[in-house]
Amino acid sequence: MKKLLNAPSDIVVESLRGLGLAHPELRVDLNHRIVYRSDAPVPGKVALISGGGSGHEPLHGGFVGPGMLDAAVAGEVFTSPVPDQIVEATKNVDSGAGVVHIVKNYTGDVMNFEMAAEIAAAETGVEVVAVVTDDDVAVQDSLYTAGRRGVGVTVLAEKIAGAAADAGRDLNGVADIVRKVNENGRSMGVALTSCTVPAAGKPTFDLPGTDMEIGIGIHGEPGRRRVPLAPAKEIAEMLVEPILADLDFTGGDGVIAFVNGLGASPLLELYLMYGEVAAVLEKAGVRVARSLVGPYITSLDMAGCSLTLLKVDDELVRLWDAPVRTPGLRWGV
């Protein structure tokens, strides 16, 4: 294992420390491993929290700031945060308008966020609405998941719901937007190599020779099938087809097309993939309204990419375009 770290057991807290030093506009509680907007709670605004296992950066800590999350709660690498952390964050961001939890669909996350919402409500009366994302069309159940896994749509939901909260929507209104994004978004990923969990020190799975894994999970969970490495053109088809088979993305106001890097695939390759995806979408009659290309929900040092399509209407495009100021996504301010 060749990584930039000290002791593997310290990687999460040390990375959060660096994030806080590099971004003085954030407040990082290293004890609870929470990244806050430094002006949280924002008076009158519904607060947004997300979190989960580390190893997916910039998700979630890099998406804290005006126009996106009020706080992000970091678990150990690929491990859910514990309820105490989530309770602490929930209490600290609530302005009285309530808190939305955006939770990726992994058993540990769903359970711990649920427990935290109950504890926070019982202790301080804060109103919490949790929305679970489950956009990965690759497999129905998985290693850590009943139902579909939550992946790339989470990034888009955090951005869009953040804008909705900024625009003054109430608790149920913001939660509804997260649901709308999740219902209209689908994803599919491909791994060219395994990732290596620092504490394990060796690759999570074996992907020998020229094989690639179609439908990979962001923790290295098995996908649909293992096939020989194909040209990017064919990989684009293998990602787009199952997504279009799952939901009709034609017509209307088009889609946000999001080509995501899994950690070790550089932008040179990601933009090439975007070009191939765009060609497949055009042939399928899917109009691209907006795009996003880059490593936004990673899987440690895995090589590969994922594609997320989100069907949008005027409302979602307007919320997508609204100003955002976080380490990972920034425009308009």
Stretch that binds its own copies, among 150-158, 175-183, 245-253, 261-269 (CB under 8 A): 261-269
How many CB atoms are located within 10 Å of the residue 282 CB?
Answer: 11
Residue from 118, 253, 291, 321 touching its own copies (CB under 8 A): that is 291
Residue from 115, 121, 199, 270 touching its own copies (CB under 8 A): that is 270
Residue from 115, 129, 167, 264 touching its own copies (CB under 8 A): that is 264
Phi, psi of 249 (to 5 degrees): -105, 5
Shortest approach of its own copies to residue 19 CB, angstroms? 5
Q: Rule CB under 8 A: say whether 272 interacts with its own copies.
A: yes
Helix and strand counts by DSSP (H, E) for the chain: 8, 14
Q: Rule CB under 8 A: say whether 55 interacts with its own copies.
A: yes
32 is catalytic: no
Shortest approach of its own copies to residue 100 CB, angstroms? 25
56 is catalytic: yes
CA–CA gap between residue 138 and residue 190 (Å, rounded): 10
Stretch that binds its own copies, among 37-45, 128-136, 273-281, 308-316 (CB under 8 A): 273-281
Residue from 96, 251, 266, 285 touching its own copies (CB under 8 A): that is 266
Residue from 62, 223, 242, 254 touching its own copies (CB under 8 A): that is 62
Per-residue CA distances from 263 to 83, 191, 219, 269, 328 (Å): 28, 10, 12, 12, 14
Burial classification of residue 28, based on how many CB atoms lie within 10 Å of its CB (0-12 exposed, 13-18 middle, 19 or more buried): buried
**Which residue lies nearer to its own copies by CB, 130 or 288?**
288
Shortest approach of its own copies to residue 311 CB, angstroms? 19
Phi, psi of 51 (to 5 degrees): 165, 180
Task: Give CA angle at 199 (207, 189), nearest 5°.
Answer: 40
CA–CA gap between residue 312 and residue 279 (Å, rounded): 19
Burial classification of residue 317, based on how many CB atoms lie within 10 Å of its CB (0-12 exposed, 13-18 middle, 19 or more buried): middle
The DSSP element (H or E) to which 291 belongs, if any, is strand 288-294
Q: Confirm if 143 and 194 have CB atoms less than 8 A apart.
A: no
CA–CA gap between residue 219 and residue 222 (Å, rounded): 9
CA–CA gap between residue 11 and residue 260 (Å, rounded): 23
Catalytic residue among 23, 32, 56, 60: 56
Could you give the count of Cα atoms lying within 13 Å of 222 in the half-sphere of its Cβ?
A: 7
Residue from 265, 306, 308, 326 touching its own copies (CB under 8 A): that is 265
Residue from 129, 232, 247, 284 touching its own copies (CB under 8 A): that is 232
For the chain, give the longest Cα–Cα distance. Answer: 55
CA–CA gap between residue 208 and residue 211 (Å, rounded): 6
Bond from prior residue into 101 cis (ω within 30 degrees of 0): no
Residue from 34, 52, 57, 138 touching its own copies (CB under 8 A): that is 57
Shortest approach of its own copies to residue 43 CB, angstroms? 25
Stretch that binds its own copies, among 54-62, 131-139, 172-180, 312-320 (CB under 8 A): 54-62
Interaction residues for its own copies, span 186-225 (CB under 8 A): 192-193, 210, 212
Shortest approach of its own copies to residue 324 CB, angstroms? 10
Residue from 96, 251, 275, 285 touching its own copies (CB under 8 A): that is 275
Catalytic residue among 32, 60, 101, 219: 219
Binding site for its own copies (CB under 8 A): 2-7, 11-12, 14-19, 21-23, 54-55, 57-58, 62, 192-193, 210, 212, 229, 231-233, 235, 259, 263-276, 278, 288, 291, 293, 295, 298, 300-301, 303-305, 325, 327, 330-333
Catalytic residues: 56, 219
